[in-house]
Amino acid sequence: MSSCPVTLHDIYLARARIAGQAARTPLVKSISLSECFEAEVHLKLETLQPSGAFKLRGALNAIAALDEATLARGVTTASTGNHGRAVAWAASRLGARAIICVSGLVPANKVAAIEALGAEVRTVGRSQDDAFVEARRLVNEEGMTLIEPFDDPLIVAGQGTIGLELMEDLPELDRVLVGLSGGGLLGGIGRAVRAINPHVQVTGVSMMKGAAMIESLAAGRPVAIDEVETLADSLGGGIGLENRCTWALVREVMSDHCQVSEHAIAAAMVHFLEVEKMLVEGAAVVGLAALEEHALDIRGEHVALIVSGNGVDMATWQRARAMIDN
């Protein structure tokens, strides 16, 4: 494993490549959270991407970099939902066939959203690793190109464009809280913001169980873990035992991390709908869950929470509501 070869320059190149396709999403101040935490708390609304989540940035950057002959053979990936939707959207825009491989744990609403974009969905096994087996078969036997969910410099650079926007819209930024799964989002944002201002704190947040990156960092190497059902389903999945890029990058750019309970995620989802008036998925609210559950002292700070995606169905939201009511 070597440090991910993504530079600030690569992130600027990614921004040029995805311009006019991915949205430059707004950063809005939350009055309620700012008052609650005695800080300037802002929400980075990646829910407003055309595909509904931040993953579009990396997928567009990777697919747009392919030559015509490679694009004609089609693209594939394995996904917990949002990356698959992003690859489907980008492939449709760029005229490529797409096959998205998912596990049986991916919610039906996310599968339907991928299919609505014209991609074929193949459901394989009970983990993202199982889905990757089929994706790699498509690469080896049918000549398709694998669009990695996170462990690729082009993906990381695409997600890093969020960091550029954060620093431009809030140059006083002191801390950013980012959902941590495979590390593409946190790694890209961390590379960008800390290259511009090394004093920015980059706080990663994972769910309590099934947090592959946290387990791998603790072990000192990538490790395999069992996936478990969680409200933050987009944070599920392994990081790959042969991780080439994001494990080392997260170690380099992450300042600290928190793990949050299902109850804390549920409470944050309810807050977002009832107070912020946003229906978002569990992975999108883990920053707030960390602030609440770990009583992080951010008084006087300028803070950004990455609201990463809107891929939630009502059944999942009602399950979150029931956790709070009970």
Residues classed as catalytic:
55, 308
Strand 201-207 and strand 175-179: the pairing is parallel
Q: Which single residue is written with the structure tokens 């080439």?
A: 244
Task: Return the closest-CA partner of residue 54 out of 308, 312, 321, 323.
Answer: 308
How far, CA to CA in Å, does 91 sit from each of 73, 178, 229, 285? 11, 27, 29, 28
User: Which residues fall within 8 angstroms of residue 292, CB to CB, at 6 or more apart?
Assistant: 264, 267, 268
Give the helix/strand (H/E) hosting 79: strand 75-79
Cβ atoms of residues 317 and 273 within 8 Å: yes
Contact 131, 103 (CB under 8 A): yes
